[in-house]
């Protein structure tokens, strides 16, 4: 049967560059269940094209990517198996398999033989930060935001790239708070390559991509594989396995179930507002606040 849905990732190739565009602008390019596979397919297409030397990943509309599109999943509990299953009984292997599949799709950017550049404007948050940080190089608008807010509850970054890019202390600073930082701060910390004024983002990425595009493909592949091997030797694959397992656990811990019940009662927007505000998340679960409690808080 033909797939006539709107593609979640657009593809264009010109001047030795492939442009991959996350294409759900009405949802700030939030990740649905098609986008990870569409992204991996686009990376594979670019790698198969002998005329492409470098891949640029960008987002349509107002943001790079706002993370997983969890509104429905959180409000009706259908995100509890990682791929939309609504069973009240958690199957950790099913959950792990689904989330590992998504992680592998994002990491096609890292494993790609051709270099990948993320061009980040607006937001690269939650699962969107997983996608951006899977690229070899990240260039951000200085006013863009990056972070993994679900570290507060209901998530663990499955690509585990925070520690490999930032080191232990600053990775802990980000993941023990769930805070976001600006592109300017991310560049100062070394999380991303550089931050530039938003008006100059396109030009900065084009200069970098053009510089890389002048290098033979085999040279690019060898340099990239040599550097990536150092991370593999540091245990990157094992860290990702643990992170992906932990991600499922966070969504089914007592606190994770409390968050989902809060979303079901008050809507995902209110649940996220509570999570990101710094207010207390009840340990061991606890009663979900009433509408009156929310009005008073």
User: What's the confidence (pLDDT) of residue 292?
Assistant: 74
What does the alpha-carbon distance between residue 54 and residue 216 come to, in Å, rounded to a whole number?
A: 10
pLDDT in tens, 230-278: 999 999 999 999 999 999 999 999 999 999 999 999 999 999 999 999 8
The Cα–Cα gap between 140 and 143 comes to 8
C-alpha 170/C-alpha 248 separation (Å) is 24
Structure tokens at 70: 């969890």
- Higher-confidence residue: 165 or 284? 165
**Amino acid 143: pLDDT:** 98
CA 5 to chain centre: 23
pLDDT, tens digit, for every residue of 52-76? 999 999 999 999 999 999 876 676 6
Q: How far separated are the first and last CA of the chain, in Å rounded?
A: 51
Q: Report pLDDT digits (tens) over 249-260.
A: 999 999 999 999
How distant, in Å, are the alpha carbons of 105, 176, 245 from that of 84? Answer: 18, 27, 17
Q: Could you report the per-residue pLDDT of 91-116, keeping only the tens digit for each?
A: 999 999 999 999 999 999 999 999 99
Both tokens of 39, joined, read 């992204």
Q: What is the full DSSP assignment across 161-230? A: HHHHHH-HHHHHHHHTTT-EEEHHHHHHHTSSSEEE-GGGHHHHHHHHHHHHHTS-HHHHHHHHHHHHHH
The structure tokens listed for 250 are 């966070």
- Are 128 and 145 in contact by the 8 Å Cβ rule? The answer is no
CATH architecture observed for domain 9-252: Alpha-Beta Complex (3.90)
> What was the pLDDT predicted at 226?
98
Rounded Cα distance between 12 and 18, Å, is 6
| Prediction pTM value | 0.94
- Cα atoms found within 13 Å of the Cα of residue 162, Cβ hemisphere only: 29
Delimit the domains of the chain by residue range: 9-252
């Amino acid at each position: 049967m033909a797939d006539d849905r709107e593609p979640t990732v657009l593809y264009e190739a010109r001047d030795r560059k492939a442009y991959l565009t996350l294409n759900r602008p009405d949802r700030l390019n939030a990740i649905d269940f098609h986008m990870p596979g569409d992204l991996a397919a686009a990376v594979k297409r670019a790698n198969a094209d002998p005329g492409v030397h470098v891949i640029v990943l960008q987002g349509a509309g107002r943001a790079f990517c706002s993370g997983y599109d969890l509104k429905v999943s959180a409000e009706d509990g259908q995100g509890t198996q990682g791929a939309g299953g609504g069973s009240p009984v958690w199957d950790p292997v099913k959950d792990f398999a689904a989330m590992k599949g998504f992680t592998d799709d994002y990491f096609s950017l890292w494993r790609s033989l051709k270099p990948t550049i993320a061009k980040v404007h607006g937001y690269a948050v939650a699962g969107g930060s997983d996608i951006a940080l899977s690229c070899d190089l990240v260039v951000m608008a200085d006013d863009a935001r990056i972070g993994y807010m679900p570290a507060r509850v209901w998530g663990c970054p499955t690509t585990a790239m925070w520690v490999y890019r930032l080191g232990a202390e600053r990775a802990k600073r980000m993941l023990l708070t769930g805070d976001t930082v600006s592109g300017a701060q991310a560049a100062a910390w070394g999380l991303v390559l550089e931050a530039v004024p938003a008006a100059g983002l396109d030009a900065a990425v084009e200069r970098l991509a053009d510089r890389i595009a002048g290098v033979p493909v085999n040279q690019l592949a060898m340099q990239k594989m040599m550097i990536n091997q150092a991370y593999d030797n540091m245990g990157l694959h094992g860290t990702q396995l643990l992170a992906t397992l932990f991600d499922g656990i966070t969504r089914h811990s007592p606190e994770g179930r409390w968050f989902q019940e809060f979303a079901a009662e008050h809507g995902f927007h209110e649940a996220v507002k509570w999570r990101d505000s710094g207010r207390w998340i009840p340990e061991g679960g606890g009663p979900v606040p009433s509408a009156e409690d929310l009005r008073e808080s």
